[in-house]
Every structure is written in structure tokens, then in C-alpha cells.
A and B are shown apart, each in its own frame.
Chain A
Amino acid sequence: MTTNATSALPTYMTAKGFCLTSGFWMMVATFMGLLGATELIAPDLTENIGWLVFGRVRPIHVNLVLFGFVTPGLLSSAFYYVPRLLRTELYSEKLGVITVLAWNFALVTVVVSLAMGYSQGREYAEMIWPIDMLIVLAFTLVFINLIMTVAQRKEPILYVSVWYVCAGIVLTAVTFSLGNVIWKPNSGSLVGIPDAILLWFYGHNVFGLLLTPLSAGVAYYVIPRACRAPLYSHTLSLFGFWSLLVVYTHIGTHHLLQVPVPTWLKVISIVDSVAMVIPVMAFLINIWYTAKGKLGEIHADIGAKFVFTGTIMYFFVSIQGSMMALPDVQRVTHFNNWVVAHAHVGVLGFAGMISLGGLYYILPRITGKPLYSRFLADFQYWLILIGVIGFTVVLTIVGLIQGNAWLNGETVYRILPEMHVYYVTRASIGLIIFSSAILGLYNILRSIFFNPGEIS
């Protein structure tokens, strides 16, 4: 079942669809983030507008960033590089387009239902059961298309990027189904501590077993190509892949060190969180040695520039994550804005950067024309880089203020004036990121539909 059987060149409709999906929902998601940040400094801003209160805006922001912006961006690259690495065509472009449509339909229902107040009230797993099923369906369609492409491959060896993207989809389907307790449609949850344990396996692994493998897959494809150099070590990359599977699957409970979950489970989560250094460094050493002496080539390609910067952010966020799992560190850093800073480095700085990098890398190749504007992409790069660094600094400071106040028994309202200036800065940075999303969407739209560039 190959849609392109009659045409000489692939159409890349699926990849284009996911590019557009990522660009559009990045704009909506970052606007929701900006709105939420503004409400934190001006709580009356959306007074009496029920569907725009912070409690509804925040989950919309989080879920759209995850499933609307970053994942589709990474999938757009995957739908380009998986067939190429396997020397075959995508199993079905038609199925791919249906997947894009289903994915976007699911995202619309996410926004509408959460804005209407239909929520399961579980962080990162707020969506109600019918929407959970839509998301599972979308992932299933992606998996069928990719695994059938693998099955019809002409290249016998699976390059590490293919391993990562297939594992990411399978693991997410398992994690999502269990984490959202889909066998209990009425509540979507268990009761008490067991629910917390299950939720945080999902809450952490939806990043660690979806965004991380998909991002690693893009980096392993883009960096060698941009550098025109072979991967430093494919064996090391496979070692990193399998060690990620072993280590990352058990660390969710490090979100629950300060609640009464079994000690043995806490110990596993802490040990594996620290052990994350192994797959992380295996990945980074491999990528950075591949790029050694080739920074000029990386700079010359805007996609590779985004991706390479994402790997630097991965270093920061991973080391930080391992440290944050230590109970003594966590006594100060947990339950406050430190974690929000950490999440922004991970999701925007690492996975978001690589998502955009992969997208900009493939755009000229799937359209057959140069990127509409390298300048706009460069500008977006710097806006996001400044935004991520800004978020990190500002939210880390606020987190320390909150953490120390908590530790010292200080009353919450007494530290609010201290935090205010940082919250204003945070909203300003949110504006920068939202602006960059608009530029990005414009660039993507022009590159695909209204591109005056010469056909290569």
C-alpha cells in the first residue's frame, strides 16, 4: 500500500501536515502560556470569563505544547527520515494524512473540553476519556505507518534514529494508556497513592519516553548529515538507546519523594534518575564527537543549529534532573517554580529546539525549494534561545525564593511581593516566545505554500 507507487518523487504530505500542525499549535500553545503568566501578575485580567481562568489555561498550555507543538514537529522529521534511512517509501501517505487530520481533531477537542472545564484534574493527564482514546488512536495510526515502513524496508540495518522513533511511539502508547487509567472511563484515575504513583510514571515518561527518543532520533539524523560526517559510533548510540529503556522507565516516583509511597520505589526512582547520566552522556558524546571540528557546517544550516543547541540544553536539563532527584536537593527545589524552569529547559530548550531544527532541516527537502527566510528562522532561534535562558534564570530564582520560604515556614503571602518582579519578567519572556512562534508559523506557511524560491 504505497500511495506514491505511481509518482516518481514522494509527496511528503504527512511530513508537511505535521510541520503545519506544529507551527500552528506552537502559536496557540505559547499564547496560552503568555496568558497564564499574565494572569499570575494580573489575576483579574480574565475576571468572569470562566473558560479563560488560570486553572483551565494552564493545562491547555501544557498539553498543547506537548501534543500540539513539540511532538508533531518531531514527527514531521520522522516521517521524512525514516523512509529515507530504510531506502523505501512511507507505507502510506494517505494514512499519514488521515493521521494528521485525526491528530488535529484531537487537539481541537483538547482545547474545547479543557476550556469548558471538562478535566480529570490529574496534572499532564487532564483530558477526559474520549479524548484519551482519540490520542491513543492517533499514536496507533502513527505506529502502523512507521512499523509497516520498517517491514517493507530495503536497508537491513535499522539506524539508531529508527530505533528511537519506533520505541518512542510504542512506549508512549503503553505509558499513556496506563497513566490515564483508560480502563476506568468514568474517572480516569485510581484512588489515593496508587493513582499518584501511576500518574507520575506517566507525567515524567510522557516527556522521557516520547520527547526524548523522538528528539534523539532527529539529532542522530540531522547532525551527521549537516556535518557531512559519519556518526562517531553507532554502537555507542545503540548502547545509549537500550540503557535509556532500562533506566528511564522507572524514575517517575522521584516526583513523589515527599509523600508516603513505598521507600523501595523511591530508591529505585532516585538511583535510576542519577543513572540517567549513562544514556544522556552516551548520546551527547556521540553527537558532539560527530560534530567535532564541524561547527561551521552546523552554523551554516539553520536546522542543524537549532538541533545542536537543543543537545546543549539536553546536557543542562539532564544533569539538573539527576540532581533534583536527590532528596536533600529536592527539599528546596520541589513544589515551586524551580521545576517549572526545569520543564522549560527540557521541553522548549531541548525537545522544542530540536523539533524546530528538524522541521527547518526538512522543509527545503520536502518542498524542493529553499526555506522562505533564513533570516526569520535565525531570528526565531535567537528569540527562543534568549527566552529559554531567561525562563531558566527567572523561574529558578523564584523557585529558590519559594523553596526557602517553604523550608523556613514562611507564610506564602509574605513572599508574594518578592516574587512579583520575576513574574512580570516571566510574562515578558512569554511574549518573546509567542512572537517567535508567529514568525515561525509565517516562515513555515510561506515555505510550503507561497515560496518564490527556485525549485531545486
Chain B
Amino acid sequence: MYFPYFITYMAVGFVISLVVFLWAIKNGQFKDQKRARFLPLEDELEPSVAKVSTFKRYEVYTLLFLALAGLAASGAVLVFSLLNANI
């Protein structure tokens, strides 16, 4: 009998989420969203640690290549697995 545990799990999560959501609406958490965007920046800002010009282009290209290679590999293996799944 799995239902009591499963329903308990979902019910606890649902009730907590609903209570907090209603609190957020009542408390005005969804208002003034434009100001909220700036909240991390309202702290004092440290001086710039490095100039933008020190940006190493080759490092970006390498990162891009690795990212694209990862994407291509993931895509290739997905296609491969689908072709071989005897669907």
C-alpha cells in the first residue's frame, strides 16, 4: 500500500507551498518587481577587480568549443540510442 506515503508527500509539499504563496501575495512580495531587480546591487560595490580588456578571447573560444562538443555529443548519442531502441 503506497498511497498513504505518496499522498502525504504531495499533500505536505502542496500545503507548505500554498501557505507560503498566499503569504507572499498578502505581504506584497509580487509588487515592486522593478526595484527587486536591483536588490543585489544596493549593497556597496567593490572596485572593479580587472579591466574588461583583459578578457582572454582564446579561453572563450575553448569554452565555446567544449560546450558545443558536449552538446553535439549529447545529441549524437540521443539519436544513436533512439535509432537502436527497436521502437
- A selection of 23 A-B contacts at a CB cut-off of 8 Å is A85-B39, A157-B36, A159-B39, A178-B5, A178-B8, A194-B1, A201-B9, A225-B45, A230-B37, A231-B37, A234-B37, A235-B30, A246-B17, A249-B13, A300-B51, A301-B49, A316-B70, A329-B78, A329-B85, A332-B81, A332-B84, A392-B73, A407-B84
Task: Decide: A400 near B29, CB < 8 A? Known: A198-B2, A224-B40, A249-B13.
Answer: no
Question: Count of chain B residues with Cβ under 8 Å from any Cβ of A?
Answer: 59
Q: For the complex formed, measure the closest distance between the CB of A324 and the CB atoms of chain B, giving whole angstroms.
A: 9
Judging by beta carbons under 8 Å apart, are B63 and A309 in contact? yes
Q: Does A439 contact B (CB under 8 A)?
A: no
Q: A194-B2, A197-B5 are in contact. List 9 more A-B contacts (CB 8 A).
A: A158-B24, A178-B8, A221-B40, A230-B41, A300-B48, A316-B71, A385-B66, A389-B69, A403-B81
The answer to whether A299 has its CB under 8 Å from any CB of chain B is yes
Number of residues from A at the complex interface, CB < 8 A: 69
Tell me if A159 and B36 are in contact (CB < 8 A): yes
Q: How far is the CB of A267 from chain B (nearest CB, A)?
A: 14
Residues in A neighbouring B21, C-beta threshold 8 A:
242
Least Cβ–Cβ distance between B47 and chain A, in angstroms = 9
Interface residues of B in 1-49 (CB under 8 A from A): 1-2, 5-6, 8-10, 12-13, 16-17, 20-21, 24, 27-30, 32-41, 43, 45-46, 48-49
**Are the C-beta atoms of A389 and B66 separated by less than 8 Å?**
yes
Query: Of B40, B66, B77, which is within 8 A of A85 by CB?
Result: B40
Chain A positions within 8 Å of B70 at CB level: 316, 389, 392-393
Chain B residues near A338 (CB-CB < 8 A): 77
A:49-86 near B, CB below 8 Å? 81, 84-85
Q: How many Å lie between the Cα of A329 and that of B74 in the bound state?
A: 12
- Residue pair A329, B82 in contact (C-beta under 8 Å): yes
With A250-B10, A300-B50, A300-B52 in contact, is A316–B16 under 8 Å at CB? no
Please measure, in the bound complex, the distance between the C-alpha atom of A88 and the C-alpha atom of B85, giving whole angstroms: 56
Question: Which residues of A have CB within 8 Å of B9?
Answer: 174, 178, 198, 201
Judging by beta carbons under 8 Å apart, are A225 and B36 in contact?
no
* In the complex, chain A residues 153-168 whose Cβ is within 8 Å of any chain B Cβ: 155-161, 167
CA of A404 to CA of B74 in the docked complex: distance in angstroms? Answer: 16
Q: Check if A296 sits within 8 Å of B39, measured CB to CB.
A: no
Question: In chain A, what residue has the closest Cβ to B64?
Answer: A312
Q: Write out the residue numbers on chain A whose beta carbons fall within 8 Å of the beta carbon of B61.
A: none
CB distance from B59 to the nearest CB of A (A): 7
Asked if A238 is at the interface of the complex by the 8 Å CB criterion, the answer is: yes
CB of B21 to closest CB in A, whole Å = 7
Q: How far is the CA of A190 from the CA of B43 in the complex (A)?
A: 49
